[in-house]
Amino acid sequence: MTYIATIKYYDEFDSKTITSFMFVAADSTSKAVEQLSDFYGENNLEDITISAFSPHNFLEINEDFDELFHDFALHAGDNVVW
């Protein structure tokens, strides 16, 4: 399943709160929250909003939106979480 999430977390390196928007692939809402908590650190998370977006773990963008997709992929590459 794919979820849309908005999180606010405290960035210790920049000493400020940051809001991020993301897609999260997980088997359940609780697993999605667990992934975010593990990555950002439970103590650093200030707020999480999460909702189901798709029953699948991938998103398909058809050719009507190919330019938008390529622009997004180009600019989002710097924010990919490994």
Q: CA 59, 63, 67, 73 torsion: positive or negative?
A: positive
Would you say residue 62 lies in a domain?
no
User: Domains in the chain: how many in total?
Assistant: 1
Average pLDDT over residues 19-40: 95
Q: Which helix (H) or strand (E) holds 75?
A: helix 66-76
Mean per-residue pLDDT over the chain, rounded:
93
Q: Which residue has the higher pLDDT, 49 or 78?
A: 49
**Inside any domain, residue 67:** no
In a domain, 73, yes or no: no
How confident is the model over 56-74, as a mean pLDDT?
91
Give a yes or no: residue 75 inside a domain: no
pLDDT at 80: 80
pLDDT value of residue 79: 78
Could you tell me if residue 33 is inside a domain? yes
**Residue 66 domain-assigned (yes or no):** no
